[in-house]
Amino acid sequence: MKAFLAALVMLAATGFAADANPGVPKNNGPKVELKAAAAQPRQLEDTTEVAIERDYSVAWKALATALGENRADALDAGFVGVARNKFGKAVDDQNKAGLRRRYTDRGHKLEAVFYSPEGSAMQLRDVAQLDVEVLDGNTVIHREQIVQPYLVVMTVAEGSWKVRVLEELPK
């Protein structure tokens, strides 16, 4: 009985610990902090905020996997449309050139700026902190730490939010 109670307490503590770190997804993806107050013309629902943080993190994890392992299929977890095609081509090019890109993702500060009236599309701005390494074979030929602003469009697809546009913006 004591063991059962102890396990129960541990489980509860784990749950509380997770809730105490909002923005830290449970999918091993990067940390995403979303500010939704400025979204127009529609306000984000609480559940949508949670979904955006989760799904945007999933997308970045997918991008890191795809570019790091040269696997375009990994993109399907988080990207559709233009963004899927764009990064898919990047993976193809990397494969041809024998290159890879390794991302160490230090987190994203995301801000919703537009949420469509009918609730199916959202535009966001992200400031990503990334360590990027470019590898030629197994040799790192370039390494940099960047703080990069992004323009993001996410739409509802297959029951989750997926990234349709992800563009780096000039600083």
Question: Considering beta carbons, is residue 51 or 113 the nearer one to another protein?
Answer: 113
Using CB under 8 A, pick the residue from 31, 54, 101, 162 that binds another protein: 101
Q: Least Å distance between CB 96 and another protein? A: 8
Q: Is the peptide bond before 41 cis (omega within 30 degrees of 0)?
A: yes
CA 64, CA 107: separation in Å to the nearest integer? 13
**Residue type, position 25, single letter:** P
Q: Is residue 31 a contact residue for another protein (CB under 8 A)?
A: no
Q: Is residue 98 a contact residue for another protein (CB under 8 A)?
A: yes
CB-CB contact of 132 with 67 (8 Å)? no
Name the segment binding another protein (CB under 8 A); options: 10-18, 21-29, 50-58, 135-143: 135-143
Count of CB atoms situated within 10 Å of the CB of 121: 15
Q: Least Å distance between CB 143 and another protein? A: 9
Q: What sections of the chain are H helices per DSSP?
A: 2-19, 46-69, 81-97
Q: Is residue 45 a contact residue for another protein (CB under 8 A)?
A: no
For the chain, how long is the longest CA-to-CA vector?
61
Total site size for another protein, rule CB under 8 A:
35
CA 114, CA 111: separation in Å to the nearest integer? 9
Q: Under the rule (CB under 8 A), what is the footprint of another protein?
A: 41, 82, 85-87, 89-90, 93-94, 97-99, 101, 113-114, 116-118, 120-121, 123, 134, 136, 139, 141-142, 144, 148, 151, 153, 165, 167-170
